[in-house]
Structure 1
Amino acid sequence: MHWRSKLIHPTAQAPSGFRSLVTPTYRASTILFERQADAADDWRQSEVGYTYGLYGTPTVLELGARIAELEGARHSFVVPGGQAAIASIYFAFCKAGSHALVPASAYGPNRELADGLLARLNIEVEAYDPLIGGGISALIRDNTALIWTESPGSVTMEVQDVPAIVAAAHSRGVPLALDNTYAAGVLFDAFAKGVDVSMQALTKYVGGHSDLLLGTVSVGTQAAYDAVGPVLKQLGAAVSPDDASLALRGLQTLGVRLERLESSTLQVANWLVAQPGIEAVFHPALPSCPGHKFWQRDFTGSASVFSILFCREVDPGQVEAFVDSLRLFKIGFSWGGTTALAILYPKLDRPGKDYDGRLVRLNIGLEEPCDLIADLEQALGRINRPGATAG
């Protein structure tokens, strides 16, 4: 062969027998077949073999298999992020004319998707009180195609009675989906509680270092598997094997990180409970958190994110000044990484609630709790000064 052809068709290979603790990062779009008769474009690679890189290389499929093993799922699809997982579930179970239910405390982009793209596709998504429990039966219609749960809820941390909602949904033949990101898929056993589809943003605890965007859609039944798979193929929801490799690395330290984060977060949250100017601390493990009794019953631990509500005497400008005064806590969205974060929600929409720019969400990182408490203390001291204002 000409040397240019040898560049494309080499015969030289590395010696065989290499073994590593690390899963190799397989990058590919084209998958080779031995014969034309074997060529197929099929997303079910776990059953039929590898067909195209869009449906996952061995790196991606191993990540999915490990998540499924941890969650006790039939299968876990890996997708580009948490919002991609949410959208995929809607499209798998809903069609034009469908009705779906979502808790009012759900992740903001879930609600945005409901009010935006889904509404334009004539899919009606109705918000419900996250603490409704079995009372959700009254909201189920003949065309209800999906019920969402998210426990704890985003920002306001309401813990839902998921088993009661599951029972109500299944009595009417409606599948139930859960955003299980807070629990990292392990602190709440979704499939043991009867959930049909569980998703999480691997961006958070599995990634663990604020450097990747990934999600999973985990299914508990063959019917859910058959519903989700074709949708992901049609959407082209491919993920990078490099990101999957980072998530596989993150999985190895997930246990020790969750243990440390729980301990540190409880220490900080309990300190905040006693501080003047704080009206409530919304942490699932504390009695002040809505639905705390369900957390006690259903969860095996807590995680790193919670919210604080300032008293009405503290005006929104002072709350903003508090956030701006933090030094170790960085200002930013997301959570679950190594760094403490704070973010103010000045226009949070919760029916029947008026938080009036007084709600701040905190994510506790791997810093020493005493240092984080000292940072919070100096920032609180600034807003507690008479006449303190923003800036």
Structure 2
Amino acid sequence: MTDSNFSKGMTGLIHHPYTPPAGFDAPQPGVFKASTVYFPSVADMRQREWKDKSAYTYGLHGTPTTYMLEERLCTLEGGAQCVLVPSGLASLATVALALLKSGDELLLPDNAYGPNKALAEGELRHYGITHQLYDPMDPDDLTRKINARTRLVWLEAPGSVSMEFPDLPELVRRCKAQSVLSALDNTWGSGLAFKPFDLLGDGSGEQGSLAVEISAHALTKYPSGGGDVLMGSIITQDPSLHLKIKLCHMRLGLGVGANDAETVLRSLPSIALRYAAHDQTARSLAAWWQKQAQCAQLLHPAFEGAPGHAHWQALCDRSPGTGLAAGLFSVMIAPRYTQAQVDAFCDGLKLFKIGYSWGGPVSLVVPYGLASMRQSWPAHLKPGTLVRFSAGLESVQDLLLDLHQSAHAHLPLV
């Protein structure tokens, strides 16, 4: 049999000799889908190394598409290494599983993302890993709770749902003083409001600048921007820490689809424009709420009087008037309104859709039972029913009209 016979029939379709010419270049990178990766020889197979991105060995360990996304995300956040996982929650879970073992303790802010708390209360507890909750607005409380078993401290800026903004640099200093790793859920900041690896803005992420050790990011939100992709990232600067996470990532068999990676790559060039647009719309909506009698308290870190506003200014608004604050805020509806009335208000909105997540083109609203989400009612929050808004990309005036019509119908002034 000669090689020419291979070009006939199904074998010819599978082992076709044609390859496209080199030199093609376009605004969007190519999409490479693979489980199997070919090696030109056994010797080449045996010497390839996937851990440092110097070669390809198997689709789960990386393709040109995922490598490119990882590198661009490092540029966005100021890190050095990145791994991709199937969701934002998977990024939090992978960090915990890579770095904690039975007998270790984890510290979480009391206003942490709910599923991260559930992970600590469920799987991590089953594995013999304990946890404590600390008050993120009181660095001394964090210091008191760090002990000989503490291995990891999660940080959020701002906190989930209630939007308090902590003194993030001080919390990081407290962790470093006791040689405990700090990991930040950086989904809100997205590498735009502040740099997690250069918290003081004095080192551009260079060695010696104040930095968290780990930045976890739900790419589902602003990097995707379409409300149609689930993905997360874990970014580090320290190579040995990255290797621990990458090896755990490999052993868990975590991977992301090439088309999802393509979607995020396509959206990344516009993230700064979209983030700023979400931010401006959210501030307009928040300013409207601040004037309404139904609003007992506005929870938006860029507004004076909001919990942690001064910390937001110090971290994100060093040149006053230029700071970014994403498109998310909450409103505490006055306690004279019942839960049924608040729910009816949310149901009565026409443009704001009821749904979790944020960062997409459609504005969202969700009422929360905050009392069930905290150890006790925070002293800095007024009584009432909390409603969280995510500003989309619709016309600001249309959104304001929507808020007005539903508030008028379901939250009557008394």
Indicate yes or no: 2:412 matched with 1:376.
no
1:134 to partner: Cα distance: 4.5
Determine helix, strand or coil for the equivalent of 1:200: strand
Determine helix, strand or coil for the equivalent of 2:298: strand
Aligned partners of 2:40 and 2:282: how far apart in 1?
Answer: 54
Letter in 2 for 1:159: F
Among 221, 227, 235, the residue aligned to 1:210? 227
Aligned partners of 2:383 and 2:63: how far apart in 1?
Answer: 48
Among 227, 231, 235, the residue aligned to 2:244? 227
Indicate yes or no: 2:341 matched with 1:318.
yes
Aligned residues: 386
Letter in 2 for 1:350: R
State the partner residue of 2:332: 309
Normalised to the residue count of structure 1, the TM-score between the two structures is 0.95
- Residue-by-residue CA offset, 1:82-101 (whole Å, 9 max, x unaligned): 00000011112110010010
Conservation of the 8 A alpha-carbon contact between 1:329 and 1:341: yes
Among 344, 361, 379, the residue aligned to 1:338? 361
State the partner residue of 1:145: 151
Conservation of the 8 A alpha-carbon contact between 2:157 and 2:166: yes
1:386 to partner: Cα distance: 7.2
Among 388, 392, 396, the residue aligned to 1:361? 388
Determine helix, strand or coil for the equivalent of 1:62: helix
- Residue-by-residue CA offset, 1:206-240 (whole Å, 9 max, x unaligned): 00010100110000212321221111001111000
State the partner residue of 2:319: none
Conservation of the 8 A alpha-carbon contact between 1:277 and 1:311: yes
Determine helix, strand or coil for the equivalent of 2:25: coil
Aligned partners of 1:315 and 1:43: how far apart in 2?
Answer: 57
1:43 to partner: Cα distance: 4.3
State the partner residue of 1:246: 263
Conservation of the 8 A alpha-carbon contact between 2:82 and 2:234: yes
Indicate yes or no: 2:65 matched with 1:73.
no
Determine helix, strand or coil for the equivalent of 1:279: strand
Conservation of the 8 A alpha-carbon contact between 1:195 and 1:220: no
Aligned partners of 1:119 and 1:288: how far apart in 2?
Answer: 38
Among 306, 312, 315, the residue aligned to 1:295? 312
Determine helix, strand or coil for the equivalent of 2:151: strand
1:37 to partner: Cα distance: 2.1
Indicate yes or no: 2:51 matched with 1:44.
yes
Determine helix, strand or coil for the equivalent of 2:116: helix
Alignment of 1:79-98 (within 5 A): 79-98=85-104
1:356 to partner: Cα distance: 7.5
Alignment of 1:81-230 (within 5 A): 81-193=87-199, 194-230=211-247
Aligned partners of 1:13 and 1:170: how far apart in 2?
Answer: 53
- Residue-by-residue CA offset, 1:185-216 (whole Å, 9 max, x unaligned): 22121111310000110000000010100110
Bigger shift: 165-174 or 58-67?
Answer: 165-174
Aligned partners of 1:74 and 1:328: how far apart in 2?
Answer: 40
Conservation of the 8 A alpha-carbon contact between 1:207 and 1:247: yes
Aligned partners of 2:25 and 2:106: how far apart in 1?
Answer: 49
Gaps of 5+ in 1: none
Conservation of the 8 A alpha-carbon contact between 1:103 and 1:129: yes
Aligned partners of 1:277 and 1:170: how far apart in 2?
Answer: 43
Bigger shift: 14-23 or 367-376?
Answer: 14-23
1:132 to partner: Cα distance: 1.6
- Residue-by-residue CA offset, 1:224-262 (whole Å, 9 max, x unaligned): 212211110011110001000000011011111111111
- Cα pair distance change 1:36/1:134, threshold 3 Å: farther
- Residue-by-residue CA offset, 1:107-127 (whole Å, 9 max, x unaligned): 110011010101111101111
Bigger shift: 165-174 or 315-324?
Answer: 165-174
Determine helix, strand or coil for the equivalent of 1:259: helix
Aligned partners of 2:142 and 2:23: how far apart in 1?
Answer: 58
State the partner residue of 1:328: 351
1:45 to partner: Cα distance: 4.4
Determine helix, strand or coil for the equivalent of 1:248: helix
1:133 to partner: Cα distance: 2.0
Determine helix, strand or coil for the equivalent of 1:207: coil
- Residue-by-residue CA offset, 1:146-183 (whole Å, 9 max, x unaligned): 00001101100111112111111111111100000001
1:277 to partner: Cα distance: 1.1
Determine helix, strand or coil for the equivalent of 2:53: helix
Determine helix, strand or coil for the equivalent of 1:333: coil
Among 250, 255, 275, the residue aligned to 1:258? 275
Bigger shift: 59-68 or 355-364?
Answer: 355-364
- Cα pair distance change 1:37/1:16, threshold 3 Å: closer
Aligned partners of 2:409 and 2:278: how far apart in 1?
Answer: 27
1:344 to partner: Cα distance: 1.0
Aligned partners of 2:373 and 2:101: how far apart in 1?
Answer: 27
Indicate yes or no: 2:295 matched with 1:278.
yes
Determine helix, strand or coil for the equivalent of 1:46: coil
Aligned partners of 2:213 and 2:292: how far apart in 1?
Answer: 42
Letter in 1 for 2:51: R
1:357 to partner: Cα distance: 7.0
Letter in 1 for 2:10: R
Gaps of 5+ in 2: 200-210, 317-322
Aligned partners of 1:11 and 1:205: how far apart in 2?
Answer: 42
- Residue-by-residue CA offset, 1:48-105 (whole Å, 9 max, x unaligned): x111100121111100100001111011111111000000111121100100100011
Conservation of the 8 A alpha-carbon contact between 1:280 and 1:288: no
- Cα pair distance change 1:142/1:11, threshold 3 Å: same
Identity %: 35
